[in-house]
Structures are given as structure tokens and as C-alpha cells.
Structure 1
Amino acid sequence: MVSDPAADTPAADEDEDGDLLIVQVAPEAAGGRLDKTLAALVPDLSRARIQALLAEGAVSREGAPVRDGSAKALAGAYEILVPAVISAEPAAQDLPLTVLFEDSHLIIIDKAAGMAVHPAPGTPDGTVVNALLHHCGASLSGIGGVARPGIVHRLDKDTSGVMVCAKTDAAHQGLSALFAAHDIDRAYVALTRGAPKPRKGTIESRLGRSAHDRKKMAVLRTGGREAITHYEVTALFGPSDRPTAARVRCRLETGRTHQIRVHMA
């Protein structure tokens, strides 16, 4: 679709992957930051959303992706592919689910490694939530909000282990209170390269997004959130003086994202 340079709004064309917007930057509007300029021309997209689309390679000019939002906007047409909106309500899916215990109030499952807990932009389906909706049906409706029905706590996608999920509002509130008061003991088994020294102890730090890689969590000097892990080496592998690996039992007082991975590292 060819847009009219004189039009007040960008032209849009439907695409199977989303909406393709063609935005015309007039000569008098050129020269400013690209992300700011595009956000001003497309009122429906915030500047943060434009920056995310730039980073994903969804913005192009003359057929070439443009990723630097701080670059100067050039006069001419920019194409923005806005991904199709995914429904906020997850769908029930018949997925393998290992049930350890279930009654009318809660269900306890053994989550497999590689299975995300709830839908997210990178994993829109195939999650524990999708499986629970199929297994439990309407009994999960309204629990914990639309995006995470029944979910009281979570495990990382690549982590296997036991999860307790609520089937009623009363169970959800009660379990949430127990987790908040640390009345539920959570222990994890981790395999590490090398072995922690000392072999038993407590790690206390503040965790947050790494300043060098925003996709990773890291120990921070300031900011972030408090994280406390009690650990104990239960087995050593390799020479005792220089073990190549160890099995470590970790008990958490807090449940921060990637807490065990960061503290063991």
C-alpha cells in the first residue's frame, strides 16, 4: 500500500504477522531522534513501544531494518510491522501434566523442564497455565487474574520441580499468605560447575538487571531487591581438593528471578 504524504495519519496494511504501518517523515520533521519522531507520527504507539519494535528489527527504511532509535530521522517512508495482538486470556491446551496431588481446593504438579509457567510474549502458549485450564476447567477461572489463573508461585522455564496451584479464591489467598510469611519451605537441588566455598553458608545480596546485559540478572551494589539463599553442598564430583562439579541444596528466603543461578555463579 502506498501512503499519501499529505495524510495526517500513517497508512496501514493488514499482514498475516500483524499490521504494516507506512509512516512518512516530512523534510521539515527530519533531523530529530528517530524513535521520538516516529512516536509523534504514530500516536497509537508509545515511544517505548517504538524503541522495542526498533530493537526487534520491525522498523525498516527502503527495505533495510533500522534499529538505532537515537539515529536521526531521515525524510521519506518508514515501514513499521506491528505484531498481531495476542489474546490476554490463555486458551486451554491438552498438554502432559504430572499431578502429584489434587483435591477441590488445590493441585500440586511436577513441572517439567522447558515448560514456562504462564504465557508471555516469547511463550504465548504451551505453558503450565494452558495445561491447568484444560485439566481443571472452569474451577481456575478468576484465580490470580486473567494472565496467571491458579498461579501462586513460579519456577523458571528450564527448572523442573513441584508447584502448588490454587483452584479456589480461598486457597489462592491462603497459599499467597503462606508464601509471603515464609511458612512454606522451598528447597532446590542445583548442579554447579566447581563447588562453593565454604561448603555451607548463606548468600545475601541485592539482585536486579545487569547493567551490561539487560536480559540477565546480576548482583548489584545498589538498587535491586534483597535476595537470601541458604546453601549446603551435598555431594562433590571429581578430586576432593578441586572438584569439577557439586550438588547443592538451596533453601530460599526470597524468590527473585534467577536467584539460585546468580548466587551460585
Structure 2
Amino acid sequence: MTSVTDRSARESTSKPFVVQEPMELLPFLLKNITSGGRNAIKSMLGRGQISVNGKVVTAFNYQLQVGQTVTLSKDKVVEMPPLIGLTILHEDEDLIIVVKDAGLLSIASDKETDLTAYRQLTAHVRASGNEYNRIFVVHRLDRDTSGVMMFAKSEEIQQQLQNSWQETVKERTYVALVEGMVKKPEGTINSWLKESKTLKMYSSHYPNDGLHAITHYKVIQSNKNFSLLEVSLETGRKNQIRVHMEDIGHPIVNDKKYGSKSKAINRLGLHARVLSFVHPRTGALLKFETEIPKMFLNPFREGFLVK
């Protein structure tokens, strides 16, 4: 008995499909492979049987460009390495957008060689058929901060993004669970950040004494013990939100380094929720938004015990 997968593979290998208009990979396959259903095509993606311009692609929302060639193979099956603490939201020829869990390093430091987002994504792109494929860090999240991150697939794109970061990024929003009731419904924190000999960042309120940092916040909800804030960055400095929350007397929950005494949740109360930017090659405005972590809402539920 011939399976749908085998029929679809033979159909495509005899006649590769040329992309006529920009669209995501899954809709393109559904449009062009009449003998395969959605689940069958997703299975082929997962097994590494679909390639774009000769490179295996597994992301169903891979963005196709005009002129690219899409082929299927019943022979070439690639085992993609499992991702631990990472979820891919978007992948194309230039970028990978992921959600990182709290506790996972973005990239290894000199003292730490643990599993990192960088190492896992490098293995991911190399599993697509080219052992020389690489990824490049565009920005970082602290180990204990979760949320949306962007990586580049070439040094050219990395440099382009970093050199035009302020103009390219249109929105970078976090949610922060902090100690105490923040009384002002919204506000702006402005200081100059410096690093101590113990590698702790701190604020100087003298003009030009350090790196200028501006943080905006709005209160989402609060009670006498905790506040949930929407925080947006006008600048992106190391530990900026954590320092600024301590500055206003409302440190982030479970952030001992910056003054927290509460263990209301078993992780740092900071999550990078939204990242919106102009794609460096296509010029398209992309926006990636995640849910507020459920445990951030626990302190506002009736019967919650303060820890």
C-alpha cells in the first residue's frame, strides 16, 4: 500500500516547486501538494523531508521568498536535535525567533559551559544539512529571565541589526512581578548605569556618569503585597529593569541580587513578552507576543499565601 507521504515525495521530486509569491512554507505545501493532508505534510517537515534551495527546513512557518525552490524527499530524513527550554516561534534564511525558558543561559560565559540557547540553535541549523551553518547573538536575556529572543543566521544580519537596533526594534515589552504596591499607575525611570567590581549594576544619578538607561512602566494589577507591571525599554542596558525596579523600592520578586526578599514564585519575576521589529532584509514589520506566565498571576488570586 502506498502512503500519502510516499506519493507526495514522488510528486515533488519529479517536479520541484518554484515559489511565485512570498508566503509561509506550510500554506505553500498545502497549496501545491494535492495528495497530502495537513498532518502528513507536518510529519514530513518534522522528519526533514522538505528542503528550500537544497537546505532542509523543519519550521512550518518558514518564510518563503519569490524564486526559491521547494522539494520533498522520501530518502533524506534528518533527525533534528531536541530543544530543551526553547521554542522556535519563527525561522527564515536570516533569523530565528525563540521563546527561552527561565534558567537557560542565552550564551556561555567564561565560567559557565552549561547547555545554552546558542549551542542548541547552532546544532539545530547544522542539522539542516550544512555542518558550517552558524547562528549569531543579536541580544541577550539574563539566565533567569524568560521570553522572546532573536538570533541571526549570518554575521552580516547580526551587524545590521546591532548597528540599527534603536531604529529597527519598534517594541520590546516585558512583564515584571515586583514586591509591594506600586502607587503611580505609570512612570519613567531615568539613570546612568555602572558596574561594580562585584559585577553588580547600579544607578548613578549624575548626568553622563555611566550608560544612560530609560525604563517606562505601567501597572497591570496590584495588591498590598505585589504589583504586576508592563515594562518597556527605551534603552537596553545590562540588568536595566532589575536595577530600576530596585531604585523605585519595588524589586523584582525572587531577585536577591537586587533587593528582593520575596519567594512568591520559584523563579525571577521577569518575562520578555513582546518583540516587534523591522526585518533587516525584507523590510516587513514582524511582531512576536507571548502570554504572561501563569505563575506571575498567582499572587493576585484569592487565598494566595505570601512567602
> TM-score, normalised to structure 1's length?
0.55
Tell me the matched-pair count: 159
Counterpart for residue 97 of structure 2: 108
Structure number with the bigger relative contact order (C-alpha 8 A, sep ≥ 6) is: 2
1:175 equivalenced with 2:149 (yes/no): no
Query: Does 1:263 find its partner at 2:244?
Result: yes
Query: Is 2:178–2:226's contact at 8 Å kept on the other side of the alignment?
Result: yes
**Cα pair distance change 1:123/1:157, threshold 3 Å:** same
Structure 1 letter corresponding to 2:106: V
Could you tell me whether the CA contact under 8 Å between 2:220 and 2:229 is conserved in 1?
Answer: yes
Seen in structure 2, the aligned counterparts of structure 1 residues 253 and 191 have a Cα distance that, compared at 3 Å, is: same
1:216 corresponds to which residue?
A: 200
Summarize the alignment of residues 22-171 of structure 1 with structure 2, pairs less than 5 Å apart. Answer: 95-96=83-84, 97-137=86-126, 138=131, 140-141=133-134, 149-171=135-157
Shift of 1:124: 1.6
For residues 188 and 103 of structure 1, what CA distance do their matches in structure 2 show?
A: 25
Q: Distance in 2 between matches of 1:120 and 1:190?
A: 25
Asked if structure 2 preserves the Cα contact closer than 8 Å seen for 1:182 and 1:253, the reply is no
Output the CA distance in 2 between the equivalents of 1:169 and 1:130: 16
2:103, 2:144 within 8 Å by CA — same for their partners in 1?
yes
SS of 2:169 mapped into structure 1: coil
Which structure 2 segments of 5+ residues have no match?
1-80, 247-307
Q: Helix, strand or coil for the counterpart of 1:249?
A: strand
Question: Which is higher, the Rg of structure 1 or of structure 2?
Answer: 1
Separation (CA, whole Å) in 2 of partners of 1:235 and 1:113: 22
For 2:82 and 2:146, the matched residues in 1 are separated by 19
Distance 1:95-1:192 versus aligned 2 partners, 3 A rule = same
Give the distance between the partners of 1:140 and 1:173, measured in 2 at CA. 17
The two structures, once aligned, show a CA RMSD in angstroms of 2.0
What residue is the counterpart of 1:245 in the other structure? 226
Q: Deviations over 1:35-88 (max 9, x none)?
A: xxxxxxxxxxxxxxxxxxxxxxxxxxxxxxxxxxxxxxxxxxxxxxxxxxxxxx
Distance in 1 between residues matched to 2:133 and 2:107, nearest whole Å? 14
Query: Which residue identity does 1:259 align to in structure 2?
Result: Q
Q: Does 1:227 align with 2:213?
A: yes
Match of 2:93, SS state, is coil
What SS is found at the alignment partner of 2:112?
Answer: coil
- In structure 1, stretches of 5+ residues that fail to align are 1-92, 142-148, 238-242
Q: CA deviation at 1:232?
A: 0.4
* More deviation, 156-165/168-177: 168-177
Q: 1:140 touches 1:150 (CA, 8 Å); kept in 2?
A: no
Q: Give the distance between the partners of 2:216 and 2:140, measured in 1 at CA.
A: 19
Distance 1:139 1:232, change over 3 A: farther
Q: Letter of the 2:107 partner, please give it.
A: H
Identity of aligned residues (%): 40
